[in-house]
A and B are shown apart, each in its own frame.
Chain A
């Protein structure tokens, strides 16, 4: 076994580290990672302002800009949509599109996962769904950047979900009742020392899974597309161009699906966890 021969492993790792140092892979990461400027090359680069507050770096980054872009798009769209409902109850144009999604979130996510009293969480779920969806799609347009491929963003969204889940559960069952309800009924006393840590851990794994799932899905697609296109430059041949392009196109189409799917999954799981916290008897 290779593990028995540390020299081989050491050599391999040494070579890998050397290779990492030598080969410049930043061109892939450049597209995925956050940045302090908006890169519109070859047209130019916009440097974003650097801000500091109480010693914390709160500079505006590329992902922040794209989150704000999503915010502006959503606000403008929904002002328009809300106004169109005032004019007539019959949807038309953009209203049709948003209505499909709103009704989907309401009837397919909020109602079945939360059940009774879902109306209170509907604004949160709708906002989460549309925000993630818009961020996901902004990463698919040229010069765009996926804010949801930033672990800080997804983790923050997951923490917000976590807070909503816990507060929702506590508001329904009371603070004490909520924590009491975490442990299933009819558990023998001697199991409690195991069950309590497990259930407490379960509280935190849920948002952690939410954050990692969204982040990994949104990052992976871009890296795969970059790697496929990179084949052309690595292999130094035009022969691979059709293969690269067609595979990258396929992945891109897949990413459209993933963008929708991840927004749905994040919202659906948030709803599911809220439902579990609110209706603990199930």
Chain B
């Protein structure tokens, strides 16, 4: 019993002259703590937590919206780029087609023109040839007449005395016909 009472004495002994233990509860402090804390809670709730938390959520929403918007814009841009690519390919194809078409057209035109000019040239050559032939024949006929005349004249001159002119012309013509054939 003695031991226990001494132990209790030790536990509850207040060291030093000032006394007091960390476990002492002062009712005044309890009251002031309640007052202070409740006052702090009310005042901070009004002036701080509401506006600050609102601002924070506002900013978070703003960031979220901005990110979503940026995402959307990027998707749109990507779509636009894809569209552009498609239309670019299309345009290129179109251009190729047009070039091909015009090349074909040019080729066709070329061959046409070439054929045209060839045939014209041929025609011209033919014309020229026939003209030349005609002229030749004409000239030949003229020459033949002239040669005949000259020959006849010469023969007339030579054979004036012994031969009749008409007989001689007939003879010469006969020879010339033979020559021709």
Contact = CB atoms under 8 A, between A and B. Distances in A.
B26 A152 contact: yes
Nearest to A102: B52
Q: Which residue, of B45, B48, B53, has the highest number of chain A Cβ atoms within 10 A?
A: B48
Interface residues of B, number: 48
A215 B48 CA distance: 28
A67 B36 contact: yes
A95 to B, nearest CB: 9
B15 A127 contact: no
Nearest to A13: B6
Nearest to B63: A89
Contacts of A103: 56
Given A63-B29, A157-B33, A219 B22 contact: yes
A59 interface: yes
Interface in A85-144: 85-86, 89, 98-99, 102-103, 106, 122-124, 126-127, 130-131
B62 interface: yes
Contacts of A167: none
Nearest to A86: B51
A158 B48 CA distance: 23
A21 B53 CA distance: 55
B62 A89 contact: yes
A127 B9 CA distance: 41
Contacts of A75: 40, 43-44, 47
Interface of B: 2-3, 6-7, 9-10, 13, 15-34, 36-41, 43-45, 47-53, 55-56, 58-59, 62
A282 interface: no
B25 to A, nearest CB: 5
A123 B31 CA distance: 21
A265 interface: no
A89 B59 contact: yes
A160 B59 CA distance: 32
16 contacts: A6-B2, A10-B6, A13-B6, A17-B10, A20-B13, A21-B13, A30-B18, A33-B24, A85-B52, A85-B55, A127-B41, A130-B44, A151-B24, A156-B34, A157-B33, A157-B37
